[in-house]
Structure 1
Amino acid sequence: MDSIKKGNWRVPTALTLPPRWLNAYGDFITKNQSSVTQIESALRSLTYVIPGRFRDAELASESLHSSIQLLSMYHDTLLTRAISKLPGMPRQQSPHNRYTRFWIQRSKLYRRIATLLSMIQYTELLWEMAAKRRGERVRWRVVVILEMIKAICRLCLLKITNSRPLVTPPLPERDVIPEEAQAEDELSDEGFPEVRTTEVKEYKMKRTGLSLPTLPNPSDISSYLLSRVLTADDIKAPSALLNRVNGSAQVAEWLHILQPVVYAIAMARSKDKKNWQPWLLGLSIEYAARQLRNDGLRTTTLEKNEWAARGYKMGMWAMRGAFYENVTRGLLHATSQRLPSLISGILDDYLYLWDGYYFSTSSN
């Protein structure tokens, strides 16, 4: 008790250490964004080409891959906070980032559900691998449960955004911190702020006191001018970047959300991988969603980009279900035999993955 009264109790000091470490880690990530991004890409590439990734060490390798994805998502959060503290708004911001950042700032529930949805998407294959070791029945039960959780999350996001179409990913993508801001931080940390001020010092007019902006680099005038051009999407409110859906368009969004659940249940009940019924059912629902969508004159750029991305993802149906078992698989195995040994070895590892796991070719 005396040690507590005298202030010798070390627990409060120990409890403050983790936040300090996290803050120091966040500062390191912010100041070394390009290097961190390169390291993340290199680690992802390493998990793709590890020999035997999908056989003996499939669970360990997928655990590494999922961990890198989750860590990258945490880094995105740190960089988003750093950018929000910069003076003024970023000059170049994609409609997707403007829209998603608006909702995560407006609604805590949106941020939590979107984060949960992203975490499931990054780890779903790992969950399936772990479940498969306990049998096919457990594996398909886990697959159906994960698809149901993702569908519930998407329906909640649809409700929170007042019936606006879903965007992929639901969280903002990584923004690039301007090099000028990074340079200012580095110089201030080194204790030479006046050097930076001298280099970019703005000219103040004597009578009005207003300051003139600094001139751009003569070799990069085109990029400078393009960064100042406002488009129709730039002056829109973030919530107006996507139109609210109703009628047939709302039905199309529901079908798009529920299609993975229906397909997973059909695959779980089908005992024959070459059975065409689950594949035709899932593709029919996705095609019906595309036909029911509202593609009018009021369609925004973000809306067009999202439906274009969904159209590209429909190509993954060639790698799924009965179409893969009856058509694609034979073509890929025949191609593998004609390729050099190094390339064919990597392709064989992926064939093993596509042959045995549902989420390896999932597009949702």
Structure 2
Amino acid sequence: MDHLKSARQTIPPLFTHPSKFLSLYSNFITKNQSSVTQIESALRSLTYIIPGRFRDAELASESLHSSIQLLSMYHDTLLTRAVSKLPGMPRAQSPHNRYTKFWMVKSGMYRKVATLLAVVQYTELLWEMMAKRKGEKIRWRVVVLLEVVKAVCRFLLLRITHSRPLVTPALPEREVIPDEREDEEEELFEDEGYGGSEASGPGSGRRIEPKEYKMKRTGLSLPVLPNPSDISSYLLSRVLTADDIKAPSALLNKVNGSAQLAEILHIIQPVIYAIAMSRSKDKSNWQPWLLGLSIEYAARQLRKDGLRTTALEREQWGKRGWAMGWWAMRGAFYENVTKGFLHKTSEKLPSLIAGVLDDYLYLWDGYYFSSSSN
């Protein structure tokens, strides 16, 4: 017993109280958001630059990439909580974040399904790589299964949101937390007065930037006074649009009729295409590619633009339009057209750039999810 007691005393307090460790980690991420974001971007860029540099270690490379994506998603959750607790007047948010945050708060089921969908999307290529080591048959079973899981998640989101179109991503995007001023600057600002002015001390030529005045009793912040020489830009930046005053749920209209059929086709298209590819013996066969593209094109044609189309709807359909460009990197079109062009281009490029392109060609040649946009 004495040995156990002494051993327990040697364990750092953070390991005996995981909640304290998580709290400290959350505070660190919140206070160092810019540095954490830069580190994430650097690591993510590294995995992009050398996706298949070590052919035998592709699994380790993709594991690193997936881990960074999942960690970044956890950081987004921590930062979203921190932003919601900030005192002062409500901060401007994008329509996408307003909409997704509304459903995250209103429906616990939405939060769970959206999180599961994001996790599958971040790890799908890793699962395919592991399955491929067991053989092509197992690989395609895993691919179809993952597409079915994603389709089920999207149908659930469609039902939870009462037949509103899907948004990409289904989770809120990262928001910037305002940097805190140094205490010395705050004291100097208070001495100079609200609104900001030229420093009056001898030898001081620097201008004190305007800062929101925080009321001590209520914790609310008063807006910064505008620059007298730029009143028009100040007023235009504060003009409310129709979407700004809408309820978050009204940022997307409910779909019905042909629009609902278009949304259903958009959801099931990846499943049908994956099944067709799994049954095709020849990668150059045009039938699966034409089938998948036809369903996606039919979904776009069935969707009708009306006078009540919101800005968020136009944004999401714009994303889907750009995503259709990935059909040039899939199936028969890639095997018969794009692949030969890229290989010829690689031969004419400098060795460093050609090496990176060859790494991506290795992924596009062998993996279904390397060119997936869903």
The TM-score by the shorter chain falls in which range? 0.7 to 0.9
State which of 336, 350, 365 in structure 2 corresponds to 1:355. Answer: 365
Deviations 1:216-265 (CA, angstroms, capped at 9, x unpaired):
46798676544422111110000000000000000000000000000000
**Residues 172-195 of structure 1: CA distance to partner in whole angstroms, max 9, x if unpaired?**
00011123xx33xx75xx9x9867
Aligned to 1:48: 48
Q: Deviations over 1:106-159 (max 9, x none)?
A: 000000100000000000000000000000000000000000000000000000
Question: Residue deviations 1:280-301, cap 9 Å, x none?
Answer: 1100000000011121110000
Q: Per-residue deviation at 1:83?
A: 0.3
Could you tell me how far apart the structure 1 residues matched to 2:339 and 2:106 are?
Answer: 46
Supply the AA of the counterpart residue of 1:170.
A
| 2: CA distance, partners of 1:334 / 1:137 | 31
C-alpha change, 1:64 and 1:164, in structure 2 (3 Å) is same
With 217-226 and 138-147 compared, the bigger mean Cα shift is at 217-226
Higher mean C-alpha displacement, 245-254 vs 80-89: 80-89
The aligned residue for residue 263 of structure 1 is: 273
SS state at 2:242 partner? coil
Letter in 1 for 2:260: Q
Contact (CA 8 Å) 2:51, 2:360: kept in 1 or not? no
* Cα distance in 2, alignment partners of residues 130 and 221 from structure 1: 59
8 A Cα contact 2:51 2:58, kept in partner? no
8 Å contact kept, 2:266–2:296: yes
The answer for the alignment partner of 1:5 in structure 2 is none
Q: 2:261 is matched with which residue?
A: 251
**SS of alignment partner, residue 38 of structure 1:** helix
**More displaced, 15-24 or 236-245?**
15-24
Take 1:92 and 1:222, find their aligned partners in 2: how far apart are those partners? 19
For residues 204-223 of structure 1, the aligned pairs below 5 Å read: 213-216=223-226
2:344 match: 334
In the alignment, the residues of structure 2 paired with residue 203 and residue 328 of structure 1 have an alpha-carbon distance, to the nearest angstrom, of: 58
Taking the aligned partners of 1:32 and 1:222, their CA distance within structure 2 comes to: 35
Q: Does 1:152 align with 2:175?
A: no
Residue 84 (structure 1) aligns with: 84
Give the direction of change, closer, same or farther, for the CA distance of 1:293–1:270 in structure 2 (3 Å limit).
same
Q: Does the alignment pair 1:289 with 2:291?
A: no
Residues 54, 352 of structure 1: 8 Å contact kept: no
Give the whole-Å Cα distance in 2 for the aligned partners of 1:323 and 1:140.
20
TM-score by length of 1: 0.88
Counterpart in the other structure of 2:58 = 58
Question: How well do the aligned residues superpose, as a CA RMSD in angstroms?
Answer: 3.0
* Separation (CA, whole Å) in 2 of partners of 1:35 and 1:219: 35
Match of 1:236 among 217, 223, 246: 246
Deviation at 1:309, TM superposition (A): 0.5
Q: Which amino acid aligns with 2:114?
A: A
- Give the 3-state SS of the residue equivalent to 1:234 in structure 2: helix
TM-score of the aligned structures, taking structure 2 as reference length: 0.86
2:5 matched residue in structure 1: none
Cα gap change, 1:178 to 1:222, in 2 (>3 Å): farther
Relative to 1, partners in 2 of residues 1:69 and 1:211: Cα closer, same or farther, differing over 3 Å?
Answer: closer
Match of 1:33 in 2: 33
1:104 paired to 2:114 = no
Partner of 1:343: 353
Deviations 1:268-318 (A, max 9, x none): 011110111100110000000001112111000000010011000001001
Q: 5+ unaligned residues in a row in structure 1: which ranges? A: 2-7, 205-209
Match of 1:67 in 2: 67
Q: 1:44 to 1:289 in 2, by over 3 A?
A: same
Contact 2:51 2:62 (C-alpha < 8 Å) held by counterparts: no
Q: Structure 1 CA distance, aligned partners of 2:268 and 2:55?
A: 32
The residue type equivalent to 2:109 in the other structure is L
